[in-house]
């Protein structure tokens, strides 16, 4: 189930009629876009679904190590620490030094 983005705008229309053609001009001025929050789009939140999916597959495979390529700031890996699993080693890999620094703290 997806919530829709809400747009507020003003609309100005003018129509020029000539002998052989009609031209419609429309100008839109966007005033505000209200984006839905994650909890409005997904139930349970997508971040929780992602962790539960990973935990399920870790348990099914009895994995002892996990590498998260593109780990960003490590939120998935950090969340996995809250669950009892067979994991003995967790590694996060990311191209962004800034994200890795945040993950290390």
73: containing domain: 39-104
Question: Under DSSP, is residue 24 helix (H, G, I), strand (E, B) or coil?
Answer: strand
pLDDT at residue 28 tops 80:
no
- Identify whether residues 45 and 82 lie together within a single domain: yes
Q: What pTM does this model have?
A: 0.56
Distance (Å) of CA 95 to CA 28, 70, 77, 99, 100 = 40, 7, 16, 8, 8
- Identify whether residues 51 and 89 lie together within a single domain: yes
Looking at residue 15, what is its pLDDT? Answer: 47
- Identify whether residues 63 and 100 lie together within a single domain: yes
Neighbours of 58 (CB within 10 A): 17
> Is residue 68 domain-resident?
yes
What is the total count of domains within the chain? 2
Average pLDDT over residues 30-56: 78
> Is residue 53 domain-resident?
yes
């Amino acid at each position: 189930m997806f919530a829709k983005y809400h747009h507020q705008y003003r609309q100005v229309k003018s129509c020029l009629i000539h002998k052989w053609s009609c031209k419609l001009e429309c100008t839109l001025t966007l005033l505000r876009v209200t984006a839905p929050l994650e909890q409005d789009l997904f139930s349970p939140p997508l971040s929780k679904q992602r962790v539960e999916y990973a935990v399920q597959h870790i348990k099914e495979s009895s994995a002892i190590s996990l590498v998260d390529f593109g780990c960003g700031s490590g939120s998935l890996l950090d969340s996995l620490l809250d669950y009892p699993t067979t994991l003995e080693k967790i590694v996060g890999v990311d191209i962004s030094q800034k994200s890795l620094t945040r993950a290390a703290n």
